[in-house]
Structure formats: C-alpha cells, structure tokens
Structure 1
Amino acid sequence: MKGSRKGSLEERLQRLDAELAKKRAEDTVGDAAEEKAAESRKGYAVAMKLSSEFIAAVIVGAFLGYLLDRFVGTAPWGMIVLLMLGFCAGVLNVMRSAGMVASPHPVDRVAGRDAGSETKKDGA
C-alpha cells in the first residue's frame, strides 16, 4: 500500500510539473504579446501628439491671419502669410518633438545668440 501511494504521489507531481510548464509557456507567449501591444500603444500616442502639435500650429496661424485681415483690412495677405508661418512653426514643433532638431539652450535664447555661431576667443 505504501508503494502504490508513493507511486501515485510521484505520478501526480510529474503531472503537476507538466501542467505548470505548459502554463508558464503560455504565460511567456502572453507576456510577449502584451509587450508588443504596449509598444504599439506607445507609438500611437507619439503619433497623436505630433499630429496634434502640427495641426494646432496651422490652425492658430490661420486664425490669427483671419483676425488680422478682419481688423486691418489686408485680406487675403494676412491669412496667407500667417498660415505659412503657422505651417513652418508646426513643422519645427514636430521636428523638435521627434528629436530631429535640438531646442536652443535657455542661456543662448536669453542672450539672443546661437550656440553654434560663437567664435573662439584665443584668436584662432
């Protein structure tokens, strides 16, 4: 009786180990799928941020151009010029957010100079 009991216990342990191994394999597949979905959501979030920055700049430029034309009477030139400026500002904002263009250093912005245009002070 003791032998059959010990044998059945070992058999149950082996069956349990097999089931646990199968569950762990399924969990790793699920974890990989969740990581891929998280990366996809992150990409969508970045795309929405960049597109909203661009669209907002264009809309603000168009609105300011409309207001300028309305109050000063320069139709359609205010709208055209400020719409183009809004487009350029939108492109610049997207490039800065994407990391393609570095933002100016705050010290250089306050001093009104570009960091790359400084000359050496030793006369060379």
Structure 2
Amino acid sequence: MEVERSESLEARRERLDAQLNARRKVEPDANANREASKGYALAVKLSSEFIAGVVVGVLLGYLFDRFLGTSPWGLIVFLLLGFCAGVLNVLRSTGAVAQPGSGRAGRSGTRDEDDGK
C-alpha cells in the first residue's frame, strides 16, 4: 500500500510540474515582450529629446556665427546651451523636474487666503 501511494504521489507531482512549466512558458513571454517594447519606446523618446536639444543648439550657433562673424564662439555657446536644454528635456520627461507652469496659481505675490484682518 505504501508503494502505491508513493507512485501515485510521484505521478501527481510530475503532472503538476508539467502544468506549472506550461504556464510559466506562456505568461512571462507576453509580459516580457510588452515590458521590452515599453522600455524601448521610452529610450527612443528620451534619446530623441536629448539629440533634438543639441541639434537645435548647434544650428542656432552656426547661424549666429555665420551672420555675425563670431566663429567659433557662437557655436560653442549654443552647443552648450543645447546640451543643457536636452538634459532638461530628458529630466522633465522622466518626471525628475517639474514641468514649467505647473507651480501654484498664487505665485503673483498675493495671498489667496484671508490674513485675518
């Protein structure tokens, strides 16, 4: 009787392992693909925002130098400004820095609440 129990227990354990392995193979693949695509989309978005800031800075610097004849100082200054703008855009996109204009409405120097006078 003890041998029959261990065999039936072993058979049930093998069936359970097979079912668990089948579920593990199906679920992580769908979630992993979804997470990978979200990560890829975020990486493309952040890199494009950074590159756009630098490219705009370089173009403005080049045009500034071309029309005013201050070569290479305009390009250097605007390249640095574009770099800073790109970093700021990335930080805003990730939520590390607040968006402009998202502060309190009562910043004009007047108090919104009653002073008690």
TM-score by length of 1: 0.65
Q: Which residue matches 2:71? A: 75
Instruction: Mark the CA change 1:78 to 1:41 in structure 2 (over 3 Å): closer, same or farther.
Output: same
Note the C-alpha offset of 1:86: 0.4
Does residue 1:97 correspond to 2:86, yes or no?
A: no
* Distance across 1 between alignment mates of 2:56 and 2:82: 7
Find the structure with the greater CA-based Rg: 1
1:41 offset after TM fit, Å? 1.4
The 1:116–1:63 alpha-carbon spacing in structure 2 relative to 1, beyond 3 Å, is: farther
Separation in 1, partners of 2:61, 2:110: 43
Q: Percent identity?
A: 54
Match of 1:43 in 2: 39
- Distance in 1 (alpha carbons) for counterparts of 2:22 and 2:38: 24
Counterpart residue number, 1:5: none
Supply the RMSD in Å over aligned alpha carbons: 2.8
After TM superposition, what 4+ stretches of structure 1 lie above 4 angstroms from structure 2? 22-25, 114-120
Query: For the residues of structure 1 that align with 2:51 and 2:64, how far apart are their CA atoms?
Result: 20
Instruction: Give the superposition deviation at 1:44.
Output: 1.1
Which amino acid in the other structure matches residue 84 of structure 1?
A: L
CA displacement at 1:89 relative to structure 2? 0.5
Q: Residues 117 and 84 of structure 1: is their aligned pair in 2 closer, same or farther, counting only changes over 3 Å? A: farther
Note the C-alpha offset of 1:102: 1.1
SS at the partner of 1:105?
coil
Gaps of 5+ in 1: 1-17, 109-113
For each residue in 1:65-106, what CA deviation from the matched residue of structure 2 results, as whole angstroms up to 9, or x when unmatched? 011101110111110111111011000000000010110226
Could you state the TM-score of these two structures normalised by the residue count of structure 2? 0.68
Greater percentage in helix: 1
Q: Which runs of 5+ in 2 are unaligned?
A: 1-14
**Residue 104 of structure 1: SS of its match in structure 2?**
coil
Deviation of 1:28 after TM superposition, in Å, equals 5.0
Deviation (angstroms), 1:37: 1.8
Q: Does 1:65 align with 2:61?
A: yes
